[in-house]
């Protein structure tokens, strides 16, 4: 029996039929549409000095390829890094553990299913890039080669590496998803920093995303044809005055055999990582070690119980409580107790950094990163009942929306505001109250965003992906995604954020009521 093929097919179908995948696919298409700015746009994505290429097939194909490699590598890890965990939660892993399939073949099947999921998104983005040529590239003939070659040599090996890295992270840090997120966040930023700043030609061979070879080729093309020694100063969304931009006709790059060999080497390195990880794979032997303290139990039986003489009048009266304070307290306890208790040392360290770091850095960089570290706490804020299969009871309780859901939102906001408390105090002490209001609004926004996406998708994966993407963008100072006043201030901005919060809250309530009615 072909166990590997069955696992790949089942895993792929399960992922692609989820709401999280469909929504991620829709968001990917929207973002891919911005890879090639419209003629009147005030931003650039790839720029060599102050030069951008005219919208011919070569420029659109190469630009969309490197942007896709970075973007899908960025969100792809968070989209596919729960494949083994899903087998554990559904107890399918126990069945797989009894089959003859080896650890290496099982992990390889997970890598291939991850790769197929990312490849599906890549295929749609590839089609979008061709559509962008016919939309933007007026006056140029269409050529398919400038699209196929960069996507083949740049994007596909990068996606295979990310697919393997997600499985390796699950093998070694499967019980600590937050650690996986943090380590990948650090690794991704280190690689991208080296790719964008290094002038070493050998970096093209050690870039897993394949971006450096294309940007270096663009620089050499400008140097040889325009006789200007410029570097790629922008790879992302960079807002710049349109009159400062000049154009040139880009004709593609020469693919060096060493670079092509390095792309195959990255695939082999990914397989080597899987082989090493298979030696440490638990094969679903995940018994929890519970230390049981033996205590002497003293049983006392009153004479009244022996004789059956129960005084009903002596029992305390039943007093109904319809408030939400007990719910808020319970939700807060669950938020604080989620994950390892030692991780709170990291949170406390972040709050200390908020005290002593320069105020602008604390607000714009440390605070969003500290909030992102709580992603696993907020992602299942409104979905843990379904995950633990107790929603049949909670939805049948008295006013589950206005009591339970509201208490979950309030508990999440209290946690976010508590983490941001040092910055709030520093702004308030300086008499600057507008940033205080904007940070609190940002705390409310990110919590209701988590609740909305959780109810909409029925899981936590979609919020984790988008929250990481959002955090990465605001840390890199992309202004239109600022949700906590780090780069904006003013009443217009505050009013716009309040409108978004109102919309998300109303939609969350409506979706939860729909769920309850159709339970």
Q: DSSP states of 163-222 as a string?
A: HHHHHHHHHHHTT-HHHHHHHHHHHHHHHHHHHHH---GGGGTS-TT-HHHHHHHHHHHH
508 and 362 in a single domain? The answer is yes
**pTM for the whole thing?**
0.79
244 and 351 in a single domain? The answer is no
Q: What is the pLDDT of residue 286?
A: 56
The chain-wide mean pLDDT, for the chain, equals 85
Q: What is the pLDDT of residue 181?
A: 84
- For residue 319, tell me if it sits in a domain: no
> pLDDT confidence of 243, banded at 50, 70, 90?
low
- For residue 166, tell me if it sits in a domain: yes
Q: What is the pLDDT of residue 242?
A: 61
Strand partners, 247: 52
Q: What's the CA gap between 175 and 179, in Å, rounded? A: 9
- For residue 117, tell me if it sits in a domain: yes
242 and 99 in a single domain? The answer is yes
- For residue 320, tell me if it sits in a domain: no
Q: What is the pLDDT of residue 419?
A: 95
**Minimum mean pLDDT range among 270-284, 299-313, 502-516:** 299-313
Higher pLDDT, 15 or 488: 15
Going 15 to 21 to 22 to 26, the CA torsion angle's sign is negative
pLDDT at 110 over 80: yes
Q: What's the CA gap between 303 and 285, in Å, rounded? A: 49
pLDDT at 317 over 70: yes
Q: What is the pLDDT of residue 98?
A: 85
Strand partners, 53: 248
Domains contained in the chain, number: 2
Higher pLDDT, 196 or 143: 143
28 and 174 in a single domain? The answer is yes
273 and 337 in a single domain? The answer is no
- Structure-block tokens of residue 211: 């971006």
- For residue 399, tell me if it sits in a domain: yes
Residue 442: which of 497, 496, 495, 480 has the closest Cα?
A: 497
- For residue 315, tell me if it sits in a domain: no
Residue 330: which of 385, 389, 395 has the closest Cα?
A: 385
68 and 159 in a single domain? The answer is yes
Q: What's the CA gap between 262 and 201, in Å, rounded? A: 13
- Which residue shows structure tokens 């989620």? 338
> pLDDT confidence of 288, banded at 50, 70, 90?
very low
Q: Could you say which of 278, 297, 320 is where a domain stops?
A: 278
Q: Could you say which of 278, 298, 320 is where a domain stops?
A: 278
Instruction: Looking at mean pLDDT, say which of 37-51, 332-346, 418-432, 475-489 comes out highest.
Output: 418-432
Residue 194: CB atoms within 10 Å: 14
63 and 136 in a single domain? The answer is yes
User: What's the mean pLDDT in 460-467?
Assistant: 87
Provide the Cα torsion 497, 498, 504, 507; round to 10°.
-140
- Structure-block tokens of residue 44: 């650039």
**Domain residue limits at 213:** 3-278
Residue 253: CB atoms within 10 Å: 21
- The 10s digit of each residue's pLDDT in 404-429 is 999 999 999 999 999 999 999 999 99
pLDDT at 85 over 90: no
224 and 334 in a single domain? The answer is no
Q: Could you say which of 220, 255, 278 is where a domain stops?
A: 278
64 and 190 in a single domain? The answer is yes
Determine contact, residues 78/468, Cβ cutoff 8 Å. Answer: yes
User: What's the mean pLDDT in 246-252?
Assistant: 86
Percent of the chain with pLDDT over 70: 93
> pLDDT confidence of 307, banded at 50, 70, 90?
very low
347 and 199 in a single domain? The answer is no
Ramachandran angles phi, psi of 233, nearest 5°: -95, -5
Number of residues assigned to the chain: 519
Higher pLDDT, 476 or 270: 270
Q: What's the CA gap between 5 and 8, in Å, rounded? A: 5
User: What's the mean pLDDT in 354-372?
Assistant: 92
Q: What's the CA gap between 416 and 206, in Å, rounded? A: 39
Q: What is the pLDDT of residue 481?
A: 83
SS3 label, residue 80: helix
First to last CA, the chain: 39
**Category of 433 on φ-ψ map: left (φ > 0), alpha (ψ -120 to 50) or beta:** alpha
Determine contact, residues 96/183, Cβ cutoff 8 Å. Answer: no
338 and 245 in a single domain? The answer is no
Residue 501: which of 434, 450, 432, 426 has the closest Cα?
A: 450
Q: What is the pLDDT of residue 351?
A: 93
Q: What is the pLDDT of residue 451?
A: 95
pLDDT at 211 over 70: yes
230 and 379 in a single domain? The answer is no
**Cα distances (angstroms) measured from residue 233 to each of 48, 51, 187, 501:** 6, 10, 22, 36
Q: What is the pLDDT of residue 309?
A: 64
User: What's the mean pLDDT in 331-343?
Assistant: 86
User: What's the mean pLDDT in 349-371?
Assistant: 92
**Minimum mean pLDDT range among 66-75, 356-365, 389-398:** 389-398
User: What's the mean pLDDT in 8-24?
Assistant: 85
User: What's the mean pLDDT in 376-405?
Assistant: 87
Residue 270 host element (H or E): helix 257-278
- The 10s digit of each residue's pLDDT in 154-181 is 999 999 999 999 999 999 988 788 888 8
- For residue 292, tell me if it sits in a domain: no
- For residue 244, tell me if it sits in a domain: yes
- Give the pairing type, strands 232-239 and 43-48: antiparallel
The distance from CA 30 to its chain's CA centroid, rounded to whole angstroms, is 17
Percent of the chain with pLDDT over 90: 39
Q: What is the pLDDT of residue 287?
A: 53
**Minimum mean pLDDT range among 229-233, 401-405, 443-447:** 229-233
Q: What is the pLDDT of residue 291?
A: 40
Higher pLDDT, 309 or 93: 93
């Amino acid at each position: 029996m072909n166990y590997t093929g069955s696992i790949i097919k089942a895993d792929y179908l399960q992922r692609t039929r989820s709401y999280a995948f469909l929504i991620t696919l829709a968001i990917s298409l929207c973002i891919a549409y911005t890879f090639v700015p419209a003629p009147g746009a005030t931003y650039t994505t790839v720029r060599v000095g102050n030069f951008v290429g005219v919208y011919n097939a070569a420029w659109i194909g190469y630009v969309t390829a490197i942007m896709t490699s970075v973007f899908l590598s960025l969100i792809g890890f968070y989209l596919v890094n729960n494949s083994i965990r899903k087998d554990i939660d559904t107890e399918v892993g126990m069945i797989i553990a009894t089959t003859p399939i080896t650890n290496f073949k099982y992990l390889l099947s997970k890598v291939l299913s991850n790769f197929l999921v990312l490849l599906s998104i890549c295929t749609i983005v590839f089609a979008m890039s061709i559509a962008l040529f016919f939309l933007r590239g007026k006056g140029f003939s269409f050529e398919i080669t400038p699209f196929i070659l960069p996507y083949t040599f740049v994007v596909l090996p990068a996606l295979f590496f990310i697919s393997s890295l997600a499985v390796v992270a699950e093998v070694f840090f499967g019980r600590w998803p937050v650690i996986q997120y943090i380590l990948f966040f650090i690794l991704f930023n280190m690689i991208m920093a080296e790719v964008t700043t290094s002038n070493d030609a050998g970096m093209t061979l050690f870039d897993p995303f394949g971006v450096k070879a294309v940007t270096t080729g663009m620089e050499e093309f400008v140097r040889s044809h325009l006789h200007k020694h410029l570097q790629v100063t922008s790879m992302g969304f960079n807002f710049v005055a349109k009159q400062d931009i000049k154009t040139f006709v880009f004709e593609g790059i020469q693919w060096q055999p060493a670079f092509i060999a390095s792309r195959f080497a990255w695939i082999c390195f990914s397989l080597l990582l899987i082989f090493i990880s298979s030696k440490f794979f638990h094969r679903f032997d995940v018994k929890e070690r519970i230390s049981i303290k033996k205590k002497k139990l003293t049983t006392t039986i009153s004479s009244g119980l022996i004789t059956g003489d129960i005084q009903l009048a002596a029992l305390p009266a039943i007093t109904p409580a319809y408030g939400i304070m007990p719910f808020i307290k319970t939700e807060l306890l669950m938020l604080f107790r989620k994950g390892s208790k030692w991780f709170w040392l990291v949170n406390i360290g972040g709050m200390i950094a908020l005290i002593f770091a320069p105020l602008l850095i604390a607000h714009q960089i440390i605070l969003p990163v500290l909030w992102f570290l709580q992603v696993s706490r907020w992602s299942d804020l409104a979905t843990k009942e379904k995950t633990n299969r107790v929603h049949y009871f909670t939805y049948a309780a008295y006013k589950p929306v206005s009591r339970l859901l509201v208490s979950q939102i309030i508990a999440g906001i209290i946690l976010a505001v508590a983490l941001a408390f040092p910055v709030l105090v520093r702004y308030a002490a300086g008499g600057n109250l507008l940033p205080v209001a904007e940070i609190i609004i940002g705390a409310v926004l990110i919590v209701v965003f988590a609740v909305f996406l959780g109810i909409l998708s029925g899981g936590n994966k979609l919020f984790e992906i988008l929250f990481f993407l959002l955090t990465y963008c605001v840390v890199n100072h992309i202004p239109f995604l600022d949700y906590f006043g780090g780069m904006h201030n003013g009443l217009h901005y505050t009013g716009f954020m309040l409108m978004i919060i109102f919309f998300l809250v109303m939609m969350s309530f409506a979706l939860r009521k729909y769920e309850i009615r159709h339970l």
